[in-house]
Chain A
Amino acid sequence: MIETGRLCIKTAGRDAGKKCVIVEILDNKFVLIDGETRRKKCNQMHLEPLKDKIDIKKGASHADVAAEFKKIGLKARETKPKAKKVRPRRLRRSKLAGQAAAEPEDKKTKKTIQKTAKKSVKKTKKKEDKKESTSEQKKDQKD
């Protein structure tokens, strides 16, 4: 019963109760399956073979399997690759100061950069003020 193209139902795991097709026989224990389930290596003991067969070649691609499944009226599982998100990342203040001048693309990052840049400016100002004040005090004490 276990041969390439045999329709099966998975009986164990996350894909239990879903239909799949044997794409390749890996050894006397494991087979490669595809279809409503994920394309996966699978133990033969976790499959319940059905009467039907699909004509696919050994090691057929997912697209081939999906096309054959469509003929029977089944829908193969499609996985969408996740879209990459651009995350605003914290950078060093010295770098941010340079970037603030060269306009950033995103509004959010622009705002954050502006904020941090302002902060850094304030801090430096404070430091300078402190220095001045301390020096003045010292002068007073000397006098």
Chain B
Amino acid sequence: MVEGRKKSRTFRRVKVKTPGGKTVTQYKRRKPSKAKCADCKAVLKGVTRALPKKMQNTPKTKKRPARAYAGVLCTKCTRKKITQKARQ
């Protein structure tokens, strides 16, 4: 049987040149999807997008901004939420 990764496109294909001079296709995991705002679904800026193994070694401060609701809401929605809470 053919391997699953060769039939489907769940793995991305990377062409790599080996030291021997051959070009070989390697099958690698795709990056996870971009982080999105929980309110307006806009793509969040400043949130790293990498495989979980790489995320383990990156410090927390490099994964998301240092704001309230960082990594969850976009800046516009955070401002809205904070102002709403203040006016209650």
Contact = CB atoms under 8 A, between A and B. Distances in A.
A13 interface: yes
B1 interface: no
Question: Interface size bucket, B side?
Answer: 10 to 19
A48 B86 CA distance: 7
Interface of B: 66-69, 75, 78-79, 82-83, 86-87
Interface string A13-31: 1101110000000000000
B67 A13 contact: yes
Interface string A45-78: 0001010000000000000000000000000000
Contact of A17 (B75, B82, B87): B82
A131 B82 CA distance: 79
Contact of B75 (A12, A18, A48): A12
Question: Interface size bucket, A side?
Answer: 10 to 19
A138 to B, nearest CB: 49
A50 B68 CA distance: 19
Contacts of B67: 13-14, 16
Interface of A: 9, 11-14, 16-18, 48, 50
B28 to A, nearest CB: 36
A57 B55 CA distance: 48
A13 B78 CA distance: 10
Contacts of A18: 68
B86 A16 contact: no
A48 B66 contact: no
Nearest to B87: A48
Contacts of B87: 48
A37 to B, nearest CB: 12
A14 B66 contact: yes
Nearest to B75: A12
A16 B68 contact: yes
A9 B75 contact: no
B65 to A, nearest CB: 8
A13 B46 CA distance: 13
A18 B86 CA distance: 11
Contacts of A17: 68-69, 78, 82
21 contacts: A9-B86, A11-B79, A11-B82, A11-B83, A12-B75, A12-B79, A13-B67, A14-B66, A16-B68, A16-B69, A16-B78, A16-B79, A16-B82, A17-B68, A17-B69, A17-B82, A18-B68, A48-B83, A48-B86, A48-B87, A50-B86
